């Protein structure tokens, strides 16, 4: 089920905000559509991302999906474990499969995101 403790984008990323920092990953729906994930091009630490800006790529055997930042901020950390075990994004997209961390986030942008219920409704409408 869609975790209630975070917000969602129309491009299927989730973001968990804590004060001025944010943790970002992709949703269960996204990992399921992609299939077995084989490689992740992670954002660069220190790069300044804009909301909805392209910041990485998630590759599976048959597809490649761009990663968009849900919120503006500066990248402070990336999940380097994904370099050797990209499948963590498939098995645990909301936990071990986190992708990157931001700080200095733009708090005003949080309101533009969907909460868990809104995201689930959005998924239904996409079918």
What residue ranges bind another protein (CB under 8 A)?
A: 36, 38-39, 59-64, 66
- Checking 117-125 for CB contacts under 8 A at 24+ apart, the result is 118/8, 119/2, 119/8, 119/27, 120/2, 122/8, 122/10, 123/29
For strand 7-8 and strand 73-78, is the pairing parallel, antiparallel, or unpaired? unpaired
- Closest CB to another protein among 35 and 95? 35
- Closest CB to another protein among 70 and 86? 86
Smallest distance from the beta carbon of 64 to another protein, in angstroms?
4
Smallest distance from the beta carbon of 13 to another protein, in angstroms?
18
The Cβ of residue 97 has, within 10 Å, a number of other Cβ atoms equal to 23
- Closest CB to another protein among 85 and 106? 85
Smallest distance from the beta carbon of 90 to another protein, in angstroms?
10
């Amino acid at each position: 089920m869609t975790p209630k403790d975070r917000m969602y984008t129309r491009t299927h990323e989730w973001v968990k905000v804590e004060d001025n920092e944010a943790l970002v990953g992709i949703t269960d729906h996204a990992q399921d559509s992609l299939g077995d994930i084989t490689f992740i091009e992670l954002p660069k630490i220190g790069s300044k991302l804009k909301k909805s800006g392209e910041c990485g790529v998630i590759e599976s055997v048959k597809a490649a999906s761009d990663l968009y930042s849900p919120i503006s901020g500066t990248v402070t950390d990336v999940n380097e474990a994904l370099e050797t075990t990209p499948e963590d994004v498939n098995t645990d997209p909301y936990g071990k499969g986190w992708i990157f961390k931001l700080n200095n986030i733009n708090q005003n942008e949080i309101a533009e995101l969907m909460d868990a219920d809104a995201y689930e409704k959005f998924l239904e409408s996409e079918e």
